[in-house]
Structure 1
Amino acid sequence: MNNTSRHCLSLLTNCKTLKTLKQIHASLVKTGHHSDPFFAGKLILHCAVTISDALHYACRFFLHFPKPDVFMYNTLIRGFSESGFPQNSVFTFIDMRRKSMVPPDSFSFAFVLKAAANYGSFIAGIQLHCQALVHGFDTHLFVGTTLISMYGECGSVYFAKKVFEQMLEPNVVAWNAIVTACFRCGDTKGARKLFDMMTFKNSTSSNVMLAGYAKSGEMELARKVFWEMKVKDDVSWSTMIVGFAHNGCFDEAFGYFRELRRLGLRPNEVSLTGVLSGCAQAGAFEFGKIFHGFIEKSGFNWITSVNNALVDMYARCGNVGMARLVFQSMPHKSVVSWTSMIEGLAMYGYAEEAVEVFHEMEGCGIRPDWITFVSLLYACSHAGLIKQGCSYFSRMKDVYDIEPTIEHYGCMVDLYGRAGYLQKAYDFVCQMPISPNVIIWRTLLGACSIHGNVELGEKVKERLSELEPNDSGDNVLLSNIYAVAGKWKDVATLRRSMTDQKIKKSPGWSMIEVDRTMYSFVAGEKSNKTTAEAYEKLKEIILTLRIEGGYVPEVASVLHDVEEEEKEDSVFKHSEKLAVAFGISRLCKGRVIRIVKNLRICRDCHTVMKLISKVYGLKIAVRDRSRFHLFNDGSCSCKDYW
């Protein structure tokens, strides 16, 4: 290798941006090195794997290279497997087999099997397994381990175990893979049995058990494994902290965090972002705020991923103002940072502000990804910005060469549906180039429920019944459409059918944080000390709202053949009403009441929240299944468009 070659290689090794890489590519063309398979392979590797936004450039270069070798194919397969479009790995592998005389090697199968795992294609995985058998890689340890992981990700613990049993001498990595596969498929007992059978365990083995138990919600079993470990590394501590946080056990999470600090260990990026993510999911604002203070004092606020988690936490906990402050003070903003801010604003219906942030992002030279456009379209949908939404949907493909996914199509259906253009939404679904899934049809059924379109609602429900015949939510939505239209015979028939098929409605629940403790309320649950307190306070609140706010319960969708008092009692038992009553009972005056709910807030509860905010002079933040509602002085931030 001459000095020019060494210089080019050194430049490639230190290259960090696509702009610089293009300049190096130009130098390689000038010196004639671009046609050298060694340098071409290095260039593709850097584009496809090292630089985050350069995969498209790697593809273009690859297509123009006359005879790509197995390394180049493998690099492109690997790049696609780690991208948002892992199915392209399989297409590249197929192209390799059809056009190239170069046979695949063990790396080809490892990378393409990982891609099949990443997009959960069991059929592609089976076919690739057959190809591995044909090429004699069925006994290869590396390929076998990847096969186990692939079957685990695709939900087939049976096939994962079959592959493992056929391995001649599985190493600790293979053992860890089969234990992980068991957890992925919900077989916690099988995972424990295999773990106990292992002749040699490393720290990763124990960490696999910790992660598996944590994701299954078995934190007591995770605790037992943790304290049995002779050596606990950063991953062990992070897994326990994140596990407790994600399971809503914030006292335990913070306790482990304090113990980590007491032992003189430094928390890592994973534990910090994990706790903040847990706070975001549960709406634990006070706990998250305390954790933010710790991050500031300990000097972790320079880490981009931690700041991204803070933006997300504040946005999801009902304080978009704090989310914006964190975002504006960030020393470095990634595409995730910008997307998190756009999504945060979108959740509150602040579509114009979300659009401004998007344009600012473009002005800074940050290339949006497919998730950015999901957030942007979501913002347009929740504010009724139809023209803008359609424009961004077109720009995504025309300007940024991003192929729309099922999520983007779902946003467009939601955009038309919420605005009342139901026929247009239905036509859009029928003309989609990809098959609509249950989420697409369910979005349209929800729009039919909002606007009371019985005929289209029945048609959409038929499509859903073909895909998921026993979903309770779909039946409830159609039942509500019938009820609002006064078609009580159809309501009764549908409810009777649900009873006969033993389809149970998913209960609504709401959570509220009081004194850094999360309290959960379920609609119509049996009374305990906490719910008794909430019910007692709610009776007092409803009476006050009737007298001072002129409140009349909205009971249009409650069964026709029950007494009026029973109808009112039914809507009074909704979980968000209990949560807000408990908040008024326990929280001191002046505090914002923050509630997280698993279902869409109903019209009656929405009316009650507006009246409470006016009569009691309170600010209430409710995060339902699809967005935030900020109630203040008798009005809501959604402007009654949700």
Structure 2
Amino acid sequence: MYGKCGLLDDSIRVFDEIENATEFAWNSMLSVFAQHGLGKDAIQLFNRMKNEGVEPNAITFVSLLRGCSHSGLVEEGLSFFKAMEKTYGVVPREEHYSCVIDLLGRAGQLKEAENFINKMPFEPNAFGWCSFLGACKIHGDKERGKLAAEKLMQLEPENSGAPVLLSNIYAKEQQWEDVRTLRKMMQDFNIKKLPGYSWVDVGNKTHIFGVEDWSHPQMKAIYDKLDALSGQIKAAGYVPCTDSIPLDVDVSVKEKMLQHHSERLAIAFALISIPSAKPIIVKKNLRVCSDCHSAIKYISKVIGRKIIVRDNSRFHHFSNGLCSCGDFW
């Protein structure tokens, strides 16, 4: 519970208080480290688990592989995958293969990931293709991205993630005609893009924000805070990454759109609502974009507060201009 809420230290404290931890407790703690992108901590905990005589199972290796994936520990992750059946008698399942695709893709080893897919004993599931497509988007591989998008759309025709990610790849290459074609296809098949939302708990209430949201009763104060933060972080060295906006519009328009992303609205609201002694914890239903990630690092620096953001993949702990992910997520 603590881990899923972003309270990592409390999670570790509760685990350490257990005298004779069962496999469920070990696996829960491993899952927390994986979700927070702490691959090295997950490996250390796994070694402690073995020393305590607790046998790892399939769930153990999912967390280990996820932790390695979010920390760029490619060799370590591949070593665990190979040792699963050979050393521990755990037969790899679909989710383990998907984790390896994710591991290689995040590290930019797209050719290796493709070779791994071709050698798999079965076709990747939707998560595997989605991970590969996301990696192609991050690393700008249009051809492999197109293949992954086609496979994902075959498995989940209603899933908007595939055409949206492929559209972003085309937009990065400024292939606007291809972007328009994909958007028309989404309209024709009534595929709606999943809207981005962020939320933060203040007191006993959850406050939800969308992109360029004006519905909150304190919206004027929130936007005033955003404007002030924008000036502060630019003075500290922040430069907007307008590539994050896959639209053929003016750069100044893109900058304004970035400034009003949902996680920034939630953070601005938290800054004017939560006492400085309390942590700011924001949750988001989509992957945090590269520009917001950069902006939040600068915000944590200029305001001197720790900000925790959980996106659909992992937790990011921002403090003093740095993120726990090391810009690898």
Structure 1 residue 355: Cα displacement? 0.6
Give the greater-gyration-radius structure (CA): 1
**2:125 counterpart letter in structure 1:** N
2:313 counterpart of 1:592: no
Return the match for 2:238 from 543, 546, 551: 551
Matching residue of 2:210:
522
Q: Aligned to 1:571, which of 220, 244, 258?
A: 258
Partner of 2:113: 425
Partner residue in 2 for 1:414: 102
Query: What is the CA deviation profile of residues 103-139 of structure 1, one whole-angstrom value per residue up to 9, with x for unaligned ones?
Result: xxxxxxxxxxxxxxxxxxxxxxxxxxxxxxxxxxxxx
Matched-pair contact (CA < 8 Å) for 2:244–2:289? no
Say which of 489, 499, 502 aligns to 2:190: 502
Amino acid across the alignment from 2:270: G
Q: What is the rounded CA distance, in whole Å, between the counterparts of 1:315 and 1:374 in structure 2? A: 17
The one of 56, 78, 81 aligned to 1:368: 56
Q: Does 1:610 align with 2:297?
A: yes
Displacement of 1:490: 1.4
- The residue number in structure 1 matching 2:25 is 337
Deviation (angstroms), 1:560? 4.5
Question: Using the alignment, how far apart are the partners of 2:276 and 2:244 within structure 1?
Answer: 35
Structure 1 distance, partners of 2:328, 2:114, is 20
- Contact kept in structure 1, 2:197 and 2:262, CA below 8 Å: yes
Does the Cα contact within 8 Å between 2:172 and 2:246 map onto a contact in 1?
no
Aligned runs of 1:387-536 on 2, under 5 Å?
Answer: 387-536=75-224
Give the deviation of 1:530 after TM superposition.
Answer: 4.1
Provide the C-alpha distance between the structure 2 equivalents of 1:517 and 1:561, rounded to a whole number of angstroms: 38
SS for the counterpart of 1:365 is: coil
Residue 526 of structure 1 and its aligned partner are, at CA, apart by 4.6
| In 1, Cα distance between equivalents of 2:174 and 2:79 | 39
1:349, CA displacement in angstroms? 2.4
Distance 1:318 1:557 in 2: 26
The equivalent residue for 1:319 is 7
Q: Does 1:350 align with 2:23?
A: no
Give 1:318 shift.
Answer: 2.0
Q: 1:358, 1:569 → 2: CA distance?
A: 45
Look up the SS of the partner of 2:90 in the other structure.
coil
How many Å separate the matches in 1 of 2:98 and 2:111?
Answer: 15
Query: Aligned in 2, Cα 1:439/1:621: closer, same or farther, shift over 3 Å?
Result: same
Residue pair 1:483, 1:557 contacting (<8 A) in 2 also: no
Structure scoring higher RCO (CA < 8 A, sep ≥ 6) equals: 2
**8 Å CA contact 2:68, 2:103 repeated in 1:** yes
Q: Distance in 1 between matches of 2:208 and 2:216?
A: 12
**Consecutive unaligned residues in structure 2, runs of 5 or more:** none
CA distance in structure 2 between the partners assigned to 1:423 and 1:531 by the alignment: 47
C-alpha displacement at 1:532, in angstroms? Answer: 4.2
Describe the SS at the equivalent of 1:618: coil
Contact 1:449 1:478 in 2 (8 A): yes
Identity of paired residues, percent? 43
Q: Distance in 1 between matches of 2:220 and 2:115?
A: 49
Contact 1:521 1:531 in 2 (8 A): no
Matched residue, 1:582: 269
Cα deviations across residues 377-407 of structure 1 (Å, max 9, x unaligned)?
Answer: 1111111111111111122111221111111
Amino acid at match of 1:568: E
Counterpart contact for 1:559–1:567, Cα < 8 Å: no
C-alpha separation in 2, matches of 1:484 and 1:397: 41
Distance of 1:541 and 1:568 partners within structure 2: 14
Give the counterpart letter for 1:314 in structure 2: Y
- Are the counterparts in 1 of residues 301 and 321 from structure 2 also a CA contact under 8 Å? yes
Contiguous gaps of at least 5 residues in structure 1: 1-312
AA of the residue aligned to 2:145: G
The counterpart of 2:320, out of the listed 621, 624, 633, is: 633
Q: Name the count of aligned residue pairs.
A: 329
3-state SS in 1 of match to 2:224? helix
Letter in 1 for 2:293: H
Amino acid at match of 1:428: F
Cα distance in 2, alignment partners of residues 428 and 532 from structure 1: 51
Aligned partners of 2:312 and 2:221: how far apart in 1?
26
2:24 counterpart SS class: helix
Contact kept? 2:74, 2:104, Cα under 8 Å = yes
- Tell me the SS of whatever aligns to 2:3: helix
Q: Which amino acid aligns with 2:77?
A: G
Q: Is the 8 A contact 1:373 1:396 kept in 2?
A: yes
Q: Give the TM-score normalised by the residue count of structure 1.
A: 0.50
Contact 1:346 1:375 in 2 (8 A): yes
- Give the equivalent residue in structure 2 for 1:285: none
Rounded to whole Å, the distance in 1 between the matches of 2:224 and 2:28 is: 40
8 A contact 2:244–2:290 mirrored in 1: no
Task: Tell me how far 1:570 sits from its aligned partner.
Answer: 1.9
- What secondary structure sits across from 1:520 in the alignment? strand
**TM-score scaled to structure 2, two decimals?**
0.95
Provide Cα deviations, 1:46-98, integer angstroms capped at 9, x if missing partner. xxxxxxxxxxxxxxxxxxxxxxxxxxxxxxxxxxxxxxxxxxxxxxxxxxxxx
Aligned partner of 1:379 in structure 2 is 67
Q: Distance in 1 between matches of 2:188 and 2:218?
A: 34
Distance 1:579 1:322, change over 3 A: same
CA deviations on 1:552-594 (whole Å, 9 max, x unpaired) are 3211142453222321222222111111000011112232211
Q: What does residue 624 of structure 1 align with?
A: 311
